[in-house]
Structure 1
Amino acid sequence: MKSKLVENGNDQPLAPWRSLPTGIWALGFVSLLMDVSSEMIHALLPVYLTLGLGATALAVGAIEGIAEATAAITKVFSGALSDRIGRRKELAALGYGLAAVTKPVFPLAPAIGWLVAARFIDRVGKGIRGAPRDALIADLAPEGLRGAAFGLRQSLDSFGAFLGPLAAIGLMWLFLNDFQSVFWVAVVPGFLALALILFAVHEPPRPEGLRQVRNPLARAELRLLGTTYWWIVAVATLFTLARFSEAFLILRAEETGLALMLVPLVLVGMNAVYALSAWPVGVLSDKIGRAGLLAVGLALLILADLVLGFTDGLSGIAAGVLLWGLHLGFTQGLLAALVAEAVPAELRGTAFGMFHLVTGLALLFASLIAGALWTGLGAQWTFLGGAVFAGVAIAGLFPLAQRLGKARGKKA
């Protein structure tokens, strides 16, 4: 039987971008548009909270951590529900819809409580869509191209996260540092993302003979996820403890003297590198394996932390931010591809949900620890702590790499 990569009649492999189904491209552009909307707000929110509403760095860490943990907790239930009903798109669309309708709250919020509520509901939407969307990408991706598929989505998602802060910079200049006006513009791409998933993404047919799962969260079903899957979750958890909220990158740049209007450049630079690296790294991982590339990503994170923690000039901060973006390109899509390949197809939603639950709770603790270190000891200790966790995560990669090597050997 011919490989799915050989479809041009000349027995020549198609380029990865031509081999990926239209649905994966559409989901990528949905992510792009929603990230344009979210990052226009997120790029300004930490500064708006601290300078406009008087919040502390610890409060920013708590808000960001709680918001992301809320998304993570929601993901486990939406992922399991998508396995139970055997469909993914409707839940993903519901999640994007919730995120879209909460965007107008940001320009209307009169106090911190309203912003916390808006972030909370927005993250509930993210939680509802996350696991079903990732499972849908795994269902749509051809065999042998899951690294490319998840890498493409991450690249387009990050390109949106690049465009969002860039738009925020231009609009802050245009509107003379009026936060609310920028937040209103951010409403538009959010609703465009909702329209795209409703009309351009189509659920693939359920494979014949695929087992029906009545209770995906039952202990017997969770055991079927397998030991390799739980090793992936453990390594990803250690990694997440090292990768606290990017809000602290923004605060570090502002502390170093970056002008208020230019603060979103932090996320622009980070996401530009992330977008440019995630897809090529995903394609490469389909050819040479993922564990070695993950180790490179963690090493890049350690280097980024050291540069950000021990450099005072803006050029050093810029270098640290770019390294941070590069480490994301070497890790995020690969972890998603590993999860998709480690578990039975009928439990992918549950697997992604549990993965996001555990790593989301880790992000809550990471952001709280980072905020406490920043407030009590200073920025240096925040980034030094992240480097230590990244080093521990590298150590955890060795047993995982052995398991993945054995699995690849059995398939060969």
Structure 2
Amino acid sequence: MAAIASRLKEIPASIWALGFVSMLMDISSEMIHALLPIYLVTVLGASTLTVGVIEGIAEATAAITKIFSGALSDWLGRRKELAALGYGLAALTKPIFPLAPDVGWLVVARFIDRVGKGIRGAPRDALVADLAPPELRGASFGLRQSLDTVGAFIGPAIAIAFMWLTADRFTTVFWVAVLPAFLALGLILFAVHEPKRPADVRVVKSPLSRAEIARLGPAFWRVVAIATAFTLARFSEAFLILKAQAVGLPIALVPGVLVLMNVVYALAAYPAGVLSDRFDRETILIAGLGLLILADGVLAFSSTIATAALGIALWGLHMGVTQGLLATLVADTAPPELRGTAYGMFNLTTGIALLAASVLAGGLWEGVGPQATFLAGAFFAIVALAGLLVAARATKS
């Protein structure tokens, strides 16, 4: 534990600042996200299939946008300005949520919000990779992921408090969520400092050209394939919220689902990153996929709030073990001058997979039931684990 804690002092200040930027924006986003599925279903009368489609489209939109913003950051040789633009756009769209009169407006709001996420995502991750010393890369991504996830459980906790204080007034919570979004924008503008581009780094003129994409190399594409398999095996956390409500959790406490998941996620992400700097990253990924299988199995058969909570906690543990690690692997395998493009490609592929997974989850929930949704997730996770084990054995032989 002492070794894990000591690494915190070595991580550059701008990475800490980026972590707090992510934390504040996640407080804002998760205050809304924690309530949005229930708001759509119980207030606006949307179906669970509609929830799945909205969530899938939202995340896929972010993923598609990331490929262009990442490539643009490589072409410009600058990351911070694009990241700040993305945070600014997300902040400006937050007031749409409390003002939206119907499902259509909420779809627009989620779409624009995710465009902002897409613009900032790849440049921000590439900036972390540029700032992090190689021996601290896993710890740096783990710290950013952990701080980001702290925001993801503070946000729902605030949502719970305001739902209780206002007798379940959704729009009041949505208005409160506007403030941290603008604080995040101010922090990235004034506290994050981008390093100078090294003189020996190649200038990229056409980052999305066939020649440049070929420079990413087979090791990078193997990471993308692994990440895609992971994403197909899981789906939007909106279905964790719906599962908790289905087993009897009161509406006012529904944001507690994301509080629980993200507490576990935040506690696991930084230690997992430190361990990945010291041990084989692939072994840690295999352990994370095993945790996802276990989480899906528990959620499929849970019938009480306690067993659903166990499954949600296991889901958060799997996220903490794997998500920062996958980002680290991209930095490990992509050329420095193409990191923005690499993160864009990575997120495009996993975003498409998340769209497919979320739509399938919504369809199974609507047509068969909640148990089928989580059993399907476990099945895809087992297939992904088998593929990862085969790939690991081929690499070592």
Q: Calculate the TM-score normalised by the size of structure 2.
A: 0.98
Secondary structure of residue in 1 paired with 2:194: coil
- Distance in 2, matches of 1:213 and 1:235, equals 27
> In structure 2, what is the equivalent of residue 166 of structure 1?
157
| Aligned residue runs from structure 1 range 326-405, under 5 A | 326-398=317-389, 400-401=391-392
Does structure 2 retain, via aligned residues, the 8 Å contact 1:228–1:403? no
> In structure 2, what is the equivalent of residue 315 of structure 1?
306
Does structure 1 retain, via aligned residues, the 8 Å contact 2:4–2:274? no
* Alpha-carbon displacement from aligned partner over 1:114-141 (angstroms, at most 9, x marks no partner): 1100000000000000000000000000
- Distance in 2, matches of 1:161 and 1:308, equals 21
- Distance in 1, matches of 2:269 and 2:341, equals 24
Cα distance, 1:243 vs structure 2: 1.4
- Distance in 2, matches of 1:211 and 1:405, equals 32
Cα distance, 1:238 vs structure 2: 1.1
Cα distance, 1:313 vs structure 2: 0.8
Cα distance, 1:405 vs structure 2: 6.4
Cα distance, 1:289 vs structure 2: 1.9
Cα distance, 1:324 vs structure 2: 0.3
Which amino acid counterpart does residue 36 of structure 2 have in structure 1? Answer: L
- Distance in 1, matches of 2:226 and 2:128, equals 22
Quick check: 1:280 aligned with 2:268? no
> In structure 2, what is the equivalent of residue 5 of structure 1?
none
Does structure 1 retain, via aligned residues, the 8 Å contact 2:89–2:113? yes
Cα distance, 1:395 vs structure 2: 2.0
Evaluate the alpha carbon distance shift between residue 144 and residue 403 of structure 1 in structure 2; reply closer, same or farther with a 3 A threshold.
Answer: farther
110, 123, 130: which one aligns with 1:119: 110
* Alpha-carbon displacement from aligned partner over 1:182-215 (angstroms, at most 9, x marks no partner): 1100000000000000000011010112100000
* Alpha-carbon displacement from aligned partner over 1:207-233 (angstroms, at most 9, x marks no partner): 112100000111111111111111111
Quick check: 1:144 aligned with 2:143? no
Evaluate the alpha carbon distance shift between residue 387 and residue 174 of structure 1 in structure 2; reply closer, same or farther with a 3 A threshold.
Answer: same
Secondary structure of residue in 1 paired with 2:134: coil
Does structure 2 retain, via aligned residues, the 8 Å contact 1:278–1:330? yes
| Aligned residue runs from structure 1 range 198-213, under 5 A | 198-213=189-204
Quick check: 1:225 aligned with 2:216? yes
Cα distance, 1:399 vs structure 2: 5.2
> In structure 2, what is the equivalent of residue 260 of structure 1?
251
- Distance in 2, matches of 1:399 and 1:15, equals 36
- Distance in 1, matches of 2:242 and 2:170, equals 17
Does structure 2 retain, via aligned residues, the 8 Å contact 1:63–1:116? yes
Cα distance, 1:400 vs structure 2: 4.6
Which amino acid counterpart does residue 29 of structure 2 have in structure 1? Answer: S
Which amino acid counterpart does residue 282 of structure 2 have in structure 1? Answer: A
> In structure 2, what is the equivalent of residue 271 of structure 1?
262
- Distance in 2, matches of 1:67 and 1:241, equals 16
Cα distance, 1:267 vs structure 2: 0.2
Cα distance, 1:396 vs structure 2: 2.5
- Distance in 1, matches of 2:74 and 2:258, equals 35
Secondary structure of residue in 2 paired with 1:198: helix
Paired residues in the alignment total 395
Evaluate the alpha carbon distance shift between residue 272 and residue 53 of structure 1 in structure 2; reply closer, same or farther with a 3 A threshold.
Answer: same
Cα distance, 1:401 vs structure 2: 3.5
Cα distance, 1:14 vs structure 2: 9.2
Following superposition, which runs of at least 4 residues in structure 1 exceed 6 angstroms of deviation? 403-406
Which amino acid counterpart does residue 143 of structure 1 have in structure 2? Answer: P
Identity across matched positions, percent = 67
> In structure 1, what is the equivalent of residue 56 of structure 2?
65
Secondary structure of residue in 2 paired with 1:210: coil
> In structure 2, what is the equivalent of residue 181 of structure 1?
172
Cα distance, 1:404 vs structure 2: 7.1
Quick check: 1:247 aligned with 2:230? no
Secondary structure of residue in 2 paired with 1:312: coil
> In structure 2, what is the equivalent of residue 23 of structure 1?
14
- Distance in 1, matches of 2:118 and 2:376, equals 28
- Distance in 2, matches of 1:68 and 1:104, equals 20
- Distance in 1, matches of 2:394 and 2:197, equals 30
Does structure 2 retain, via aligned residues, the 8 Å contact 1:228–1:400? no
Evaluate the alpha carbon distance shift between residue 13 and residue 326 of structure 1 in structure 2; reply closer, same or farther with a 3 A threshold.
Answer: closer
Unaligned runs of at least 5 residues, structure 2: none
Cα distance, 1:293 vs structure 2: 0.7
Secondary structure of residue in 2 paired with 1:15: helix
Does structure 2 retain, via aligned residues, the 8 Å contact 1:37–1:190? yes
> In structure 1, what is the equivalent of residue 100 of structure 2?
109
285, 299, 302: which one aligns with 1:294: 285
Secondary structure of residue in 2 paired with 1:244: coil
Which amino acid counterpart does residue 384 of structure 1 have in structure 2? Answer: L
Q: Calculate the TM-score normalised by the size of structure 1.
A: 0.94
Which amino acid counterpart does residue 75 of structure 1 have in structure 2? Answer: K
Which amino acid counterpart does residue 55 of structure 2 have in structure 1? Answer: E
Does structure 2 retain, via aligned residues, the 8 Å contact 1:231–1:400? no
- Distance in 2, matches of 1:26 and 1:75, equals 21
Evaluate the alpha carbon distance shift between residue 402 and residue 215 of structure 1 in structure 2; reply closer, same or farther with a 3 A threshold.
Answer: farther
* Alpha-carbon displacement from aligned partner over 1:360-405 (angstroms, at most 9, x marks no partner): 0100000000001101110111001111111122122235546876
Does structure 1 retain, via aligned residues, the 8 Å contact 2:4–2:271? no
- Distance in 2, matches of 1:244 and 1:166, equals 22
- Distance in 1, matches of 2:5 and 2:240, equals 39
Does structure 2 retain, via aligned residues, the 8 Å contact 1:84–1:215? yes
Secondary structure of residue in 1 paired with 2:135: coil
- Distance in 2, matches of 1:401 and 1:278, equals 23
Unaligned runs of at least 5 residues, structure 1: 1-11, 407-412
Does structure 2 retain, via aligned residues, the 8 Å contact 1:62–1:368? yes
